[in-house]
Chains A and B, each alone.
Chain A
Amino acid sequence: DAGVTQSPTHLIKTRGQQVTLRCSPKSGHDTVSWYQQALGQGPQFIFQYYEEEERQRGNFPDRFSGHQFPNYSSELNVNALLLGDSALYLCASSSEVLKGDTQYFGPGTRLTVL
């Protein structure tokens, strides 16, 4: 049973560029959440997708957007990159049916903005 997968593993961009990160949830999961983890910090919630809709959003600007596909996979897009966007981006999947269920995390994508 494949767990949560993310691609790419690492990414280097320059300020002002745009980036797309991808996530495939654990088998049987239908909800995807994205988190940003800056160096030395705990993960911060960006947003959550369920039924192809953004259901909840953290305190992140509109430059951060996402999408969920019918197969439950998800993308995170960041426009007009800033140096401060450099971080590890984590995707987590869970099951809506089991509301008390656990979020399972992928290995993350390390984004460096130069």
Chain B
Amino acid sequence: AQSVTQPDIHITVSEGASLELRCNYSYGATPYLFWYVQSPGQGLQLLLKYFSGDTLVQGIKGFEAEFKRSQSSFNLRKPSVHWSDAAEYFCALRPMNTGFQKLVFGTGTRLLVSP
């Protein structure tokens, strides 16, 4: 069975500081991996995705993520956080060996940005 673990429920970062959100997955092979962001009361917006190739993926809003096969991880990073980054962040996987496009999500990490 596939699963995604986001070990941090909440993270508080000072504005201007760097950010790293952790994501670990369980799957028998390399899945497709995604990071989505959700502002309060809103739907999900795609930040970035990893399908294959370069393990460092660039996304929107200055975010990047690094896929590490040996650690089954896909951590999200940003060098300098802005107050508008405060939101809920979800890591998700989609199995590669199926034509179906079901996403499996983690439970999310809520990012708080302090002044």
Contacts and interface: CB of A to CB of B under 8 A. Distances in A.
A55 interface: yes
Nearest to B90: A42
Contacts of B42: 107-108
Interface residues of A, number: 29
Nearest to B48: A102
Contacts of A56: 100, 102
B108 A41 contact: yes
Contact of A100 (B32, B90, B105): B32
Contact of B107 (A35, A42, A48, A108): A42
Contact of B101 (A42, A43, A48, A105): A48
Contact of B43 (A55, A100, A101, A108): A108
A90 B44 contact: yes
A25 interface: no
A102 B106 contact: no
A94 B32 CA distance: 14
Given A103-B103, A110-B41, 15 more contacts: A31-B101, A33-B103, A42-B90, A43-B44, A44-B105, A48-B100, A56-B100, A90-B44, A92-B103, A99-B101, A104-B46, A105-B44, A105-B45, A106-B43, A108-B42
